[in-house]
A = this chain, B = another copy of it.
Amino acid sequence: MPDKQDVFKQLLKSNGLKVTNQRIAILEVMEKRPEEHLTVEEIYDYVKEKYSDIGLATVYRTIQVLSDLNVIDKLNLDDGYVRYELNIASEEGEGHHHHHLICLKCGSVLTFRDDLLETLEERIQKSLNFQVTDHEVKLYGYCEECRKMVENE
């Protein structure tokens, strides 16, 4: 895992930003929990385990930096919380989107990858002359667990 951190450190430096313990600690939290869709408060709590003196304001400021550098993505799962997750696309190259399946009963969130929207994007491009560069898809429904529970009732 040192590679990722080195990349991050380079990224900071090349943008005139400094490498600080707090920033590294927050990155580590995000890296340890990919696809966990953490809220700011959760990130704050996790970081405090290793870096108890950190302030909430620093977490907010660092999240902003990470977001600007496209290291993490902002996420809205309609549960009233703003969430963040590692930007996986930036590691795997462009075009590898991942989307979210949100269970309306238990609130769990599954992730899936799919590039099937390309045909849609082409059609949009032709019919509306809108150049699509990215997309976000959220699917709502009922997860395997919740479906089983309903069947057994």
Contact = CB atoms under 8 A, between A and B. Distances in A.
Interface of A: 74, 76, 78, 101, 103-104, 110, 112, 114, 116-117, 119-121, 124, 128-144, 147
Interchain residue pairs A-B with the least CB separation, the first 10: A132-B141, A129-B144, A134-B140, A133-B141, A131-B142, A136-B138, A135-B139, A131-B141, A76-B76, A132-B139
B137 A137 contact: yes
Q: How many identical subunits does the complex contain?
A: 2
The binding surface of chain A is classed by DSSP as strand
Contacts of A141: 130-134
B138 A110 contact: no
Contacts of A131: 141-142, 147
A37 to B, nearest CB: 15
